[in-house]
Structure 1
Amino acid sequence: MQDREEDNGVSMLSGRRYRLDLTAEQAQMCEEFGSVCRAVWNTGLHQRREYRRRGAWMNYAPQCAELADAKRDHPWLKAAPSHALQQTLKDLDRACREHGTFRVRWRSKARWSPSFRFPDSKQIQVERLGRKWGRVKLPKLGWVRFRWSRPLGGEVRSATVSRKGAHWFVSFLVDDQAVMPERHAMPGTIVGIDRGVKTAAVTSDGDFHDRQFITAGEAARYRRLQQRLTRSKRASANRRKTITALNAIMGQVTDRRGDFCAQTASRIVAKNALVVLEDLRIKNMSASASGTLEAPGSRVAQKRGLNRAILDKGWHRLELALTNAARYTGTTVVKVHPAYTSQRCSACGFVSEGNRESQAVFRCKAAGCGYIAHADANAAINIKNAGGQPVSACGDLAARRSVKQEPVSRATGRTPS
């Protein structure tokens, strides 16, 4: 989702995704388009890295000019639409600028799902055929039918065709004419959210948001398929079938997680003008424990289980959903320092590692307090009380960092304010 400024405020661009009903010929063309775009991405990335090693720069404009010359020497490049190839170079240019040339990943044939974008709205025509079906006209693909699962709701700006599992989808970027409100309907309301591995999100209001994204039967079948995959021969037909079955299960899990995050975010921003989250380094928190400087390879199994729990709950996806949904309600989303939010008593402010007796129980050890609450709810209140200001602490509980306690006054038994 994107925003664009207008004279009367900020108008938003939203995404609409539909499942395509391709013919065999169109499906083959989409595969070919994706392969060509992948080759252009990898070649462009290799060229940029070679230039950087020599201390020079390569940008979008010269690469786009060289692409036109390459089409004369390599006719297979002409199979894909020109705008899709140019858009691939634009995406590569943006990725290199944001992440650095040597941090951008190659697009592997085995791991990367084919996708390509048509950025010119003048070349895209959308028609509705009936209650359940519509069709879109795309360059070189012609008219393609898709399942009309929801209204477009605006003018189409671009279209992206991608494959997920065994199915192809088209995603339209539309101008829905919605304008970000200058003020929330309930100003002054604020909520803190604690994201956990047992419960996906707990709010300072005492609401617990969670659901299972994979059933017990699906989990058992997934384990059997993984075992079958390890015994299958590489590049065999059985291996491809097993991978397809694995992707089908994980695709359903991903869709459920996305639906949960979208619904949860919509409910939260509708009731609150300010949403406060912890500033979590999710990528670092879910990094593998193998090969670390401290005790390489130790506690790998435990860390692997924690990583799976973090990724399964969709912490980052919920954050993105909150940011997107907040644009329609005028909600502000801020992040605060996560240190000691789970060890601090929300009633008196006393900080101690012993306050959290278990994953779910918080009991303040300060003399004269004895506050008892659910540990995640207590942490959510601390996040809310931060109100966009960093939580003061002398350390945190991240991996490879010391677990320190804030200085405690001997007279009062509490941390200084």
Structure 2
Amino acid sequence: MKTKGKGKSIILFILCVAGIAFLAFAGFHGLVIGSGANQWEFKSFEKSITKGLDLQGGVTVTMEIQSDKAVAKSDLDKTKEMISLRVNKAGVAETVVTTEGNKRIRVDIPGQYDSKSIVDSLSKTGELSFKDPSGNVLLTGKDVTKASVGNDPNTGQVIIELEFNESGKKKFADATAKLIGQKISIYMDQDELTSPTVQNAIIDGKAQITGNRTVEEATKTASIINAGALPMPVKAVSTQTVGAQLGANALPNALKAGAVGIAIIFLFMILYYRGPGLIACLGLTLFISLVLFTFVGVGVTLTLPGIAALLLTIGMAVDANVLMFERIREELRTGKSVKTAVKAGFHNAMSSIIDSNLTTIISSLVLYFFGSGPVKGFALTLLIGVVLSMFTAIVVVRALMNLAVNMGLLNKPVAFRVKRG
């Protein structure tokens, strides 16, 4: 039975190591499977993670809604959607549009350096229009009272519901009566939002736009229509330009610094803790890979402060491993067996690990909800890193240590640099 358990532990340990190695390789180098039409590409972190302006250069513009009264959150979100549509219409990749405070909207546009033309474009109020197939304007945003998202009671399909004011009601009734079976296209400036086909004349001032769209797509379209119906004047209050050369130099330098730091950490852990240190390095490799995969999944924009936060969390992950290993060594010095010492060491280190990481999580949440721009990015990166470092230390490293003990790789106190008389 003991031999069978040892064999199972060896198999599981090898599978875990192979899985970690595969994730790290695929993430850092990418992977291409198949060829031609059947080709499937697993993009590397370099290609899939959005980089901030400080890493690739571009323009940051902070727009402020010009209003003496407090701006409602719904109006701020509508204006953000309108600006987002305008800035993305040229196909600029990786543009980030976020709200700051109650009146401001921050726009990060990588790879663009003509700040004047960008500011002029973003400062336009925007014009919503309804056009017939010939391009003639039938209604404008001033004729729309409200756009909302709902569900068709018969099909359950997501729909956009429109309500028009008195002038819009008459215009829309005349237009739909003439254009039955034809399309009425809705535009924001020159960008087409949707082109529904008129099914019948609509005389009550309430219309439904059907079609195969998700709730998110319908909500975005409705928000832009509302933004056109309630234009919010904006003004650029801050413009920053990061040169291409500065951005191009920043990323390689940051990566080199990170690689050197991680290499030193790995070397220290292996030399000082030997076998357990090697297992800690496996856990840290998985941790770094999981953090970067999470960045891709949640759409984190990586900046220099974000890289700093990532390196900080790597240090915290190492700290958790050091706490666990030192507790294990203390237990071994009392004369306990390796298996018992490992179990007790992890248990005793748990409260210290959770306490130290919990304070960092609280700090990250405060920075995220009350900070803005780079501070918010730093906080999000730090929060993701801390949570995943706890997972890898408490779950992954612990499991690998137990497997190593069961398979006989760490079955003597000397493997932990503990000598007994």
The TM-score range, normalised by the shorter chain, is under 0.3
More helix by share: 2
User: What is the TM-score when the length of structure 1 is the normalising length?
Assistant: 0.22
User: What is the TM-score when the length of structure 2 is the normalising length?
Assistant: 0.22
Larger Rg: 2
